[in-house]
Amino acid sequence: MPQLHIRSAQRDDVALILGFIRELAEYEKLSDQVVADPVQMAEHLFGSRPFAEVLIGEVDGAAAGFALFFHNYSTFLGKPGIYLEDLYVRSSARGTGLGKALLGKLASLAIERGCGRLEWSVLDWNEPAIGFYQRLGAEPLGDWTVYRLTGPALHDLSQT
C-alpha cells in the first residue's frame, strides 16, 4: 500500500506547481492557454494577500499531485465555500487514492473553516474524472452554465 501525504504548498514549490499546471493543461488539451509566470504566481499564492492556496499530494515521499483552491461566498447559505480550481494527479499515481485524499483534505478544511460547500467544474468530456467525482457522492449542477470574461472582453467591460 503506497504511503500518501498531503501538505500545504510553500513558496519554494512554485516551480512544482507550475509543472503540475502544465501537465494538467496537456491532459485537458489546453497547453496553449498556460501563460502563468512563476514570479507572479509566487506573489499570488504566498505574497501579502494570497488569492489561492495549494495542497501538494505525495506518494511514497514524491510529489504526485496538487489541488489549487480559494474561498468564495454563498449568499443563499450565508457562509463561505471552497472552490477547487484545479485537481491533478500524475498518471503514475492514479489509483493510489491520492485524488480522494486531496479532496478529503479539502472537505476537512471546508468543515474546519465553517464553509457550506466545496465545489468545482469538470470538462464535459472528462469521463474518468466525472465517474470519480460521482463515486465520491458529488452531484453535477445541470441547471447552471459557467460564463467567463477574459482578455479584450474583460478590458472593454472595465471601461464602462
How is the chain split into domains, by residue range?
4-158
Could you confirm whether domain 4-158 is CATH 3.40.630.30?
yes
Pairing relationship of beta strands 79-89 and 118-120 according to DSSP bridges: parallel
What's the pTM value of the predicted model, to 2 decimals?
0.94
pLDDT of residue 146: 87
Q: Mark the ranges of the chain whose per-residue pLDDT is less than 50.
A: none
Nearest residue to 53 via CA among 35, 71, 65: 71
Q: Mind telling me the catalytic residues?
A: 133
Q: pLDDT tens-digit profile of 55-74?
A: 999 999 999 999 999 999 99
Q: Return the number of other C-beta atoms located less than 10 Å from residue 4's C-beta.
A: 19
Evaluated on CA atoms 93, 122, 70, 17, the torsion sign reads positive
> How much is the pLDDT for 78?
98
pLDDT of residue 145: 85
**Sign of the Cα pseudo-torsion (51, 69, 58, 123, in order):** negative
